[in-house]
Amino acid sequence: MEFLPYYHQALEIWKNVSRGAAHPESISVGDISRKLNAVFHVGPYYYYIFDLGKGSFDYVDDSIKDILGIEPNAFTVPAFFEALHPEDLPYFVGFEKKVSEFFGSLPVEKLNKYKASQDFRIKNANGNYIRILHQVVPFNFSERGEVSKSFGIHTEISHLKDSGEPRLSFIGLEGEPSFINIRIDESAARKTLELFSNREREIVKKLCEGFSTDEIAESCFISIHTVRSHRKSILKKAGVNSTNELIIKVIKEGLV
């Protein structure tokens, strides 16, 4: 089963986002309605609630029967990965990593002001591939920004896009800026990567994973003062003014 390596990679990404934190389990109709209004759909769709820590669906809308031709309880994560087009599997997992990094870089008060959007091909019950627009917003999250659940909508867009490679975008809500068609640019990534020392590259990765200065110092066995010095040097070399700008830059350039 060639999808299994990608499936296990995704599970690790999702678990890292939640970091095992305990969050509220209740999901109200009002919450679902508000999320539906926040996610734009342009065709037939179904929605779901996903538990990142468990790597499983809490709820799948009955409308999935109209889109994929399967029952909601048959839509498990392994079944989802098995149905994804083999060529789109690496895109999906790579994009999920970037999504986790992006939301990990946001302050808690902005977590519900962005949605991640990507597309992929998935096989329906008739054995035909259709193209899905996959849109996700964080649902339950802690005061530290650890996301335990996400709300997603899968919209069929075969009539809008019948070819081409998948794309990833981060769409700002409530006036926040958007970042469209984020792709891995290997040459740009190498150029940026060459700016940093090995230690600085290690710190950049940890910043993208949401580590604080104290946590970086502890995990790298260096002092807090040294981490702060490295952070100043990193920002200067990258030509940015803040950690958030740095993270956005390296995500857009595919550095991490």
CATH superfamily of 4-182: PAS domain (3.30.450.20)
**Residue 129 predicted with pLDDT over 60:** yes
Query: What is the reported pLDDT for 28?
Result: 55
Q: Are the C-beta atoms of 103 and 17 separated by less than 8 Å?
A: yes
Instruction: Report the alpha-carbon angle 72-138-235, nearest 5.
Output: 145
Residue in 148, 49, 138, 141 with CA at minimum distance from that of residue 102: 138
As a whole number of angstroms, the distance between CA 72 and CA 52 comes to 18
- Kindly report, residue by residue over 220-250, the tens digit of the pLDDT: 999 999 999 999 999 988 888 888 888 777 6
As a whole number of angstroms, the distance between CA 133 and CA 41 comes to 8
Identify the three-state secondary structure at position 119. Answer: strand
Residue 137 main-chain phi, psi, to 5 deg: -130, 145
Q: Give residue 141's identity as a one-letter amino acid code.
A: F
In DSSP terms, 135 is beta-bridged to 117, 153
Architecture label for domain 186-252: Orthogonal Bundle (1.10)
Tokens of 127: 């054995």
Same fold for the pair 4-182 and 186-252: no
As a whole number of angstroms, the distance between CA 28 and CA 251 comes to 34
pTM over 0.75: no
Q: How many CA atoms lie within 13 A of 7 on its CB side?
A: 15
Burial class (CB in 10 A: 0-12, 13-18, 19+), 173: middle
* Rg of the chain over all Cα atoms, to the nearest angstrom: 19
Query: What is the reported pLDDT for 201?
Result: 81
- Kindly report, residue by residue over 68-77, the tens digit of the pLDDT: 999 999 999 9
Please state the domain extents for the chain.
Answer: 4-182, 186-252
As a whole number of angstroms, the distance between CA 118 and CA 167 comes to 5
